[in-house]
Chains A and B, each alone.
Chain A
Amino acid sequence: MAYTEDDLKKELDQQEEYKYGFYTDIESDTFPVGLNEDIVRAISKKKNEPEWMTNWRLEAYRAWEKMKEPDWANVHYEKPNFQNISYYSAPNKKPKYDSLDEVDPELLDTFKKLGISLDEQKKLAGVAVDIVMDSVSVTTTFKKTLAEKGIIFCSISEAIQEHPELVKKYLGTVVPQRDNFYAALNAAVFSDGSFCYIPKGVRCPMELSTYFRINQAGTGQFERTLVIADEGSYVSYLEGCTAPSRDENQLHAAVVELISLDNAEIKYSTVQNWFPGNKEGKGGVYNFVTKRGICEKNAKISWTQVETGSAVTWKYPSCILKGDNSVGEFYSIALTNNYQQADTGTKMIHIGKNTKSTIISKGISAGKSQNSYRGLVQINSKAENARNFSQCDSLLMGNECGAHTFPYIEAKNKTAKIEHEATTSKIGEDQIFYCNQRGIDTEKAIALIVNGFSKEVLNKLPMEFAVEAQKLLEISLEGSVG
């Protein structure tokens, strides 16, 4: 029997409901909805922040008030009402734990369902997890091991208290308060996030990781991450996200800033699996994220992302290659199903000499989803011998989805070498036939082909993450992909 598109569609329809759609009942300490200067002040006060920080937030808020929501992206959604969101919520029970046993068992249970077993990870994977549960850091593990090396890894609110000189020096240097609408909003109201500082010449011995969750009903999540790799250091940073099922749209506007000083390297990996909305396209998370890194001399920043969730994704992890010989990389898989919409890509700004960038983007669209790649490669006139290679491949499954590519290429230096390639295709009948012939059923064959299609990017993920990412791809295409 031939496996037709109708069969595929049927199977896509039957796909399992969002597996991680559960809701942890922890009393939260939530602010009234709405946003004004008082709320911004209150957030700052609640977090016991110094005055310069309060002013910094207010400055951002005032800039945000004058800004308009961008509408150039290839996504269509109902604009969130920013006065209808509560801008602060923190889990109520938040004593500092010495060991995992003391943590609220309900919380631990949540993480178990997510497949993050803290103790197991502690032993097997050697991952220190800074868990952000509704904006406030609950527990930080492996802090000691890291402290011995002089590495600071904590929540950003803690960093504001304990390392104000570092925060003051770097916060907002890569993504200024008034950078864009969502970044300004984030700067004004960010509740928490992670802070990481790797001192000179230190190679971080383990993968640092944070897990984000959106938990409280009607709570917007505004994370702020700041990673600083001092001269000659190295860090690999993981970020993974899952969120409970919810009907009304949730807004997420995070900001991530990476600073890679001379000879340093930052590897930043993301797996994102937020609730994408149900099959009718109802609900789902709005994900408007600003991620940017700056490279000094001989430095390197590498972004790897696997995007399977969110109803609307608006995300462009970028690299500013300021120093000579710096390197920027972007590896991405974006999978959309049902009514999901993704507009994602990267910006590579070449300023220094001999700078190099690589962009590999794989888009997979199924169901009625729309998947866009939007990227900018800019070679400035002083960037001698800059080199860029971009490849954007799209895979279409079913005839109701769309794949789009919007690359911008701007070269102002004659020594620039730029290559850009993009292809769009579907899974070939012959490929499936080949697999069938060898006794692999169609479902497995599609999984095989999708995995092969995304392999170049999956390979770039740290091992444990690659496994999780593969699982996510499978869940997202459940029914058609085994």
Chain B
Amino acid sequence: MELKDKLLSSFLAFEEQVNMHSEVHDIRSRAIKDFDDLGFPSKKQEAWKYTSLNKILKHDYTVFPKKEDAIDYRDVEKYFIDDIDTYKIVFVDGIYSSHLSATTHEKIDACLMSSAMNSPKYKAVIDNYFNKVAPKESLTSLNTAFSREGAYINIPKNTMADKPIQVVNFSTGNEAALLVQPRNLIVVGENSHVQIIERHQSLSDNPVLTNSVTEIFADKRAVVDYYKIQNDRKSASMVDNTFIEQHRESFCSVHTFSFGGNITRNNLNFYQKGERIDSTLKGITVIEGNQHVDHNTLVHHQEPNCESHQDYKGVFGENSTGVFNGKILVDKKAQKTNAFQSNNNILLDDKATINSKPQLEIFADDVKCSHGCTIGQLDEDALFYLRSRGIPAKEARALLMYAFANNVLESVKIPEIKRKINKIIANKLGVSIGFNL
């Protein structure tokens, strides 16, 4: 059976499992209809021109996994940022794992989407924010239709989250092939501040497809720092859809570190709904083998005096493919916008491919917008300089790559994340660099 048909028929069973009378029911039913109309995206669509999902849609994915809660913390410790104290919201095969998690309801809410959806206490928040910024797109609608579990984070007015929050999704491989669809909702009130780290990790070589949707609302003067660490096994693929609505003077940044996975598609969309907003989108991609990473970003400037900064760096080896499709949209009303976008790529091997499509669509005249895109190699002279000083070729290359990626790493505000990323990159390049960058 085609995956689409399977999903459509699974929806009926799914509806029986979840509370039929919830307000969300209507939204889900509408979403499954939308998905039925739209189907899976194909290369014929402009936004998917360079990424084909056909390869990963062939598997017979299980939609309702069995509950598996037998993971020992020590086995998965390394996948956490473990050297600082954090709140943890952990899911195993899409189901909440209480013994791995550390949630809270004091001052802030860092808990579960399922309880938020079903408890009357949170009804107002769900009514106001759930599925409000996520658009009608095939995979997003699919996620909406099956939305049941995920992280629910609500930071009330004038609150600073005392610890970063980690959202981690494990898949055990108990199923031959698994489709998980986490749905996260993050609401950050006026003057509040939160740092969130998201990670998806597969623990076996069975194929996993993650179709995740995250909605983030940043109210006036809120500060949101979001870090996505993607270093999954080569059997795991992922479509990440993140939608961020920002209000006056808020400050949001999303860092995406893509090192692993089979096919990774990041849809990152910022909607600016107030003045003097700052949005930052940064990413480092280091891949090889047959990996494919696609960054698809949109910054929609709707109000005057806002800024956006995009900086994506990529290093592509062997047969890997990198895609960058960034769009800056400036409405007529959004005068005095400053929007910058830069995409730098290094190709290491002849079979590696880069497709870059940086777009500007500008309807206002008093703006400063620019984009830059480069594709090149490591500088031979710089390599020679390092080697002539006794640094072996491999290390010299690694050093130059670190230097290349460094200004993305520099803006990471949590030093432990920086250390982790450094470790992952060093591992990937097979070097050990004796200092912290």
Q: A residues engaging B (CB < 8 A)?
A: 72, 379, 381, 394, 396-426
Can you report 26 A-B residue pairs in the complex whose CB atoms are below 8 A from each other? A72-B46, A394-B360, A396-B362, A396-B364, A396-B365, A397-B365, A399-B365, A399-B366, A402-B363, A403-B362, A404-B359, A405-B358, A406-B359, A408-B357, A410-B353, A411-B345, A411-B353, A411-B356, A416-B376, A417-B375, A418-B374, A418-B376, A423-B370, A424-B368, A425-B367, A426-B365
Are A425 and B353 neighbours in the complex by a CB distance under 8 Å?
Answer: no
Residue in chain B with minimal CB distance to A405: B360
Which of B332, B355, B363, B367 is the one whose CB lies under 8 Å from A410? B355
User: A408–B365 Cα gap in the complex (Å)?
Assistant: 24
Nearest CB on A from B342, distance (A): 10
Are A381 and B351 neighbours in the complex by a CB distance under 8 Å?
Answer: yes
User: A400–B376 Cα gap in the complex (Å)?
Assistant: 38
Chain B: interface residue total (CB-CB under 8 A) = 35
- Specify which chain A residues have a CB less than 8 angstroms from the CB of B363 in the assembled complex: 401-402
Are A414 and B350 neighbours in the complex by a CB distance under 8 Å?
Answer: yes
Are A424 and B360 neighbours in the complex by a CB distance under 8 Å?
Answer: yes
Are A413 and B365 neighbours in the complex by a CB distance under 8 Å?
Answer: no
Q: Mark B325-347, 1 if CB is under 8 A from A, else 0.
A: 00000001001000000000101
- Specify which chain A residues have a CB less than 8 angstroms from the CB of B376 in the assembled complex: 416-418
Are A425 and B371 neighbours in the complex by a CB distance under 8 Å?
Answer: no
Interface residues of A, dominant DSSP: strand
New A-B contacts (16) at CB < 8 Å, excluding given A402-B361, A413-B350, A414-B350: A394-B360, A394-B362, A396-B367, A399-B366, A402-B363, A405-B359, A405-B371, A409-B356, A410-B355, A412-B351, A417-B374, A418-B375, A421-B370, A422-B360, A425-B368, A426-B366
B10 within 8 A of A: no
B417 within 8 A of A: no
B349 within 8 A of A: yes
User: A296–B299 Cα gap in the complex (Å)?
Assistant: 42
Nearest CB on A from B307, distance (A): 15
Are B362 and A424 neighbours in the complex by a CB distance under 8 Å?
Answer: yes
User: A407–B328 Cα gap in the complex (Å)?
Assistant: 13
Which of A379, A402, A406 is the one whose CB lies under 8 Å from B357? A406
Which of B351, B353, B358, B362 is the one whose CB lies under 8 Å from A407? B358
- Specify which chain B residues have a CB less than 8 angstroms from the CB of A421 in the assembled complex: 370-373
Known: A413-B347, A417-B377. Is A398-B371 also a contact (CB below 8 A)? no
- Specify which chain A residues have a CB less than 8 angstroms from the CB of B151 in the assembled complex: none
User: A405–B377 Cα gap in the complex (Å)?
Assistant: 26
Known: A405-B371, A426-B366. Is A420-B347 also a contact (CB below 8 A)? no
Which of B347, B367, B374 is the one whose CB lies under 8 Å from A419? B374
B352 within 8 A of A: yes
Of residues A399, A403, A424, which shows the largest number of chain B Cβ atoms within 10 Å of its Cβ? A424
Residue in chain A with minimal CB distance to B358: A407
Which of A72, A402, A414 is the one whose CB lies under 8 Å from B352? A414
User: A419–B356 Cα gap in the complex (Å)?
Assistant: 11
B142 within 8 A of A: no
- Specify which chain A residues have a CB less than 8 angstroms from the CB of B362 in the assembled complex: 394, 396, 402-404, 424
User: A218–B361 Cα gap in the complex (Å)?
Assistant: 35
Residue in chain A with minimal CB distance to B341: A422
- Specify which chain B residues have a CB less than 8 angstroms from the CB of A398 in the assembled complex: 365
